[in-house]
Amino acid sequence: MTNERKIMTLTLLAGPAEEPVSLAEARAHLKLDATEEDALLTALLTAARATLEAETRRAFVAQNWRLTLDEWPVGPIAIPLAPVAEVTSVKVAALSGAMLPLDPGFYETETGEHPRIAVKSGQAWPMPATRLAGIEIGFTAGYGAVADVPMPLRQAMLMLAAHWFEHREPVGDGANLPRTVSALVKPFRRMRL
């Protein structure tokens, strides 16, 4: 029996082109007329999105990601972020060190809420030439455009950024989301297996 852990790494390649909640929406929510704190509020909106994406294991607005694996698992590969719009590439390390793309006809994908990828029946995944990070899966995750992000997630993001704006000192143990924000994102949380 081996004590090696199977490593999966997610890397953000290209973040969202815009935030699901605009600076104007946040300023209106906070009833701010002055613009002196726009840079802070913009940073809080980005931090709120990133926090809620991590909390729900979802991407809100379309973004490009790479999943890196050391070895192929038995059975389908579950992509640990949803919703997935498209698997853009599957690459395997060659002896030269280059990452070689596999023909999309070699594997099948399931996108959406339960994204997975599997080798087609009767096929076997090619073994990478390296033991570490020899498999890369590129994909686009997110609901799409800002208008496609579910309203409860947008509202949670707005409320969390506003909460941080109003309470600039650490509150409590810092580990919990405000209850209203937590209630809004609860239906969107993806279970860890």
High-pLDDT (> 90) share of the chain, %: 85
23-30 and 151-166 helices cross at what angle (nearest 10)? 60
pLDDT band at 173 (very low <50, low <70, confident <90, very high): low
**What string of H, E and C letters represents the secondary structure of 120-133?**
CCCCCCCCCCCCCC
What ranges do the domains of the chain cover? 16-56+148-187, 63-141
Residue 113, Cβ neighbours under 10 Å: how many?
10
pLDDT band at 191 (very low <50, low <70, confident <90, very high): confident
Reported as a single tens digit per residue, the pLDDT across 29-41 is 999 998 999 999 9
Q: Are 60 and 20 in contact (CB under 8 A)?
A: yes
Compute φ and ψ for 186, nearest 5 degrees: -50, -45
Among all chains, which residue has been given the structure tokens 């209106």?
28
pLDDT band at 176 (very low <50, low <70, confident <90, very high): confident
3-state DSSP assignment of residue 86: strand
In angstroms, the CA 174 to CA 179 distance is 13
Instruction: Flag whether pLDDT at 4 surpasses 80.
Output: no
Compute φ and ψ for 124, nearest 5 degrees: -135, 145
Instruction: Flag whether pLDDT at 147 surpasses 80.
Output: yes
- Region 16-56+148-187: CATH code: 1.10.3230
The model carries a pTM of: 0.88
In angstroms, the CA 144 to CA 130 distance is 35
Q: Are 97 and 135 in contact (CB under 8 A)?
A: no
Q: Are 48 and 32 in contact (CB under 8 A)?
A: no
pLDDT band at 153 (very low <50, low <70, confident <90, very high): very high
